[in-house]
Chains A and B, each alone.
Chain A
Amino acid sequence: MKDIFRGDLVRITNEEPDAYAKANVRWQLDSEYGRLLDSESVRMFSEKAIKEWSEKNFQNSKPERHQFTVRTLAEDKLIGFFGLYVELVHSEAWVGIGIGERDFWSKGYGTDVMNVCLRYAFLELGVQRVSLGLHEYNPRALRSYEKAGFVLEGRTRKDVLREGKRTDTFWMGILREEWLQKNGETL
């Protein structure tokens, strides 16, 4: 069987809470990272709080929540995470993804993580659809998600206020049949 934990550049891991907290407490100091990640005001958490959150979310398995960390294949460096939240009854998964180490931005790592994430969602969780939202001011993410096969399904107008300016949130989705068609040959 195919190694679904491995992409071209990264592999899926489940970090020890300590290691995850140490990396995250550093990543959160980069406010640009935080503003790309979410629409709520950025905030800071203690290493202890992150560790406890990690223990709750990474170290147990709930059928609707699948949270992973990723390491590079080359350096074995922890660079980010992805999470899938599944609407179990409707077989739809929502993705959150972040590359906390900004030295690894714009080099194909994010796209590789998304490819691994989609493969996990469709081949292991068996969902019918994967969804995500991103900010209009994150063109790097838009390109990456389009590359992974996501279709732009609309934008909620001016729903986020950053630096005094109103921006849209983009909403994307990929259906199981679309993903299978795109990736059928490489299964």
Chain B
Amino acid sequence: MFDIQTQLFEGEHIRFGPIDHEKDAEIESKWTHDSDFMRMMEIAPARPLSVALVKKQYEKLEKELDENKNQFYFTIRAREDDRLIGKASVQWIEWANGNGFLRLGIGEAENRGKGYGTQAFRMLLRFAFAELNLFRVSAIVPEYNVAAIALLKKFGFVQEVCRRKSLERDGRRWDLYVFGLLRDEWQYSHAGDLQQAEA
């Protein structure tokens, strides 16, 4: 039997949703004023973004989603009040090779360490493997992003590449890691089981 009853976008405490052009930009603009968040998410120079600029980025993103068909983007929302808490995406998909890159961010410090990221990542993996039918997924993480590395290892990702001294920040150079997870490894680890509650 096909397991299509399983809701791909519903987690225990969170859900995936589309961008809300009315409300989200104001919240995301706030996140961008937290330099820690920006430096964990991006290797481009961190900078705070105005609400207007975030809105412009949403427009650009939706245009890309429509034209390129090689990325999928979700906002992460708290089930209790539907408030925006983060974002998750699969990007740079090479369809012929069945490979894509995952990204995930929980915007506010107070929402981190509560298991939201774990739930969202489990849903994102299920989407990548069971809906997009990718053969493998990758994630690129700087060595200083300890939380992301712990999350990837929890889901069975293998550190495949260490790009030595690829980033310059705070007056020193940092390694950049590439992690990978194959569909087989995901299936046998049961990490994709949505019912498996875990903090």
Contacts of A160 in B (CB 8 A): 97, 99
Contacts of A91 in B (CB 8 A): 168
In the complex, whether A120 has a CB less than 8 A from a CB of chain B is no
In the complex, whether B160 has a CB less than 8 A from a CB of chain A is yes
Contact residue among A40, A90, A128, A157 (Cβ-Cβ distance under 8 Å from B182)? A157
- Taking chain B's interface residues, is the majority helix, strand, or loop, or is none over half, making it mixed? strand
Contacts of B165 in A (CB 8 A): 128-129, 175
Q: Are A158 and B164 in contact (CB under 8 A)?
A: no
* Cβ proximity bits B114-143 to A, threshold 8 Å, 1 near / 0 not: 000000000000000000000110100000
The residue of chain A having its C-beta at the shortest distance from the C-beta of B99 within the complex is A159
Which of B99, B161, B180 counts the most chain A CB atoms within 10 A? B161
* Cβ proximity bits B89-110 to A, threshold 8 Å, 1 near / 0 not: 0000010111100000000000
Q: Are B161 and A153 in contact (CB under 8 A)?
A: yes
- Taking chain A's interface residues, is the majority helix, strand, or loop, or is none over half, making it mixed? strand
Q: Are A173 and B136 in contact (CB under 8 A)?
A: no
Contacts of A24 in B (CB 8 A): none
The residue of chain A having its C-beta at the shortest distance from the C-beta of B43 within the complex is A90
A120 to chain B, nearest CB (A): 20
Q: What is the CA–CA distance of A131 and B167 in the complex, to the nearest angstrom?
A: 12
Per the CB 8 Å criterion, the residue count for chain A at the interface is 25
The residue of chain B having its C-beta at the shortest distance from the C-beta of A154 within the complex is B161
In the complex, whether B18 has a CB less than 8 A from a CB of chain A is no
Q: What is the CA–CA distance of A171 and B99 in the complex, to the nearest angstrom?
A: 16
Contacts of B159 in A (CB 8 A): 154
B163 to chain A, nearest CB (A): 6
Contacts of A166 in B (CB 8 A): 135
Contacts of A175 in B (CB 8 A): 164-165
Q: A89-B44, A128-B168, A171-B178 are in contact. Are A153 and B162 (CB under 8 A)?
A: yes
Q: Are B166 and A156 in contact (CB under 8 A)?
A: no
Q: What is the CA–CA distance of A129 and B174 in the complex, to the nearest angstrom?
A: 12
Contacts of A39 in B (CB 8 A): 94, 97
Q: What is the CA–CA distance of A159 and B180 in the complex, to the nearest angstrom?
A: 9
What would 25 A/B residue contacts be, using CB atoms closer than 8 Å?
A39-B94, A39-B97, A40-B94, A40-B97, A41-B96, A87-B43, A91-B168, A129-B166, A154-B160, A154-B161, A154-B163, A155-B160, A155-B161, A156-B178, A156-B180, A157-B182, A158-B135, A159-B180, A160-B97, A161-B97, A166-B135, A171-B161, A171-B163, A173-B163, A175-B165
Binding site for B on A (CB under 8 A): 39-41, 87, 89-92, 128-129, 131, 151, 153-161, 166, 171, 173, 175
Contacts beyond the supplied A157-B160, A159-B97, A175-B164: 12 A-B pairs with Cβ under 8 Å: A41-B96, A91-B168, A128-B168, A128-B173, A129-B164, A129-B166, A153-B161, A153-B162, A157-B182, A159-B180, A161-B96, A175-B165
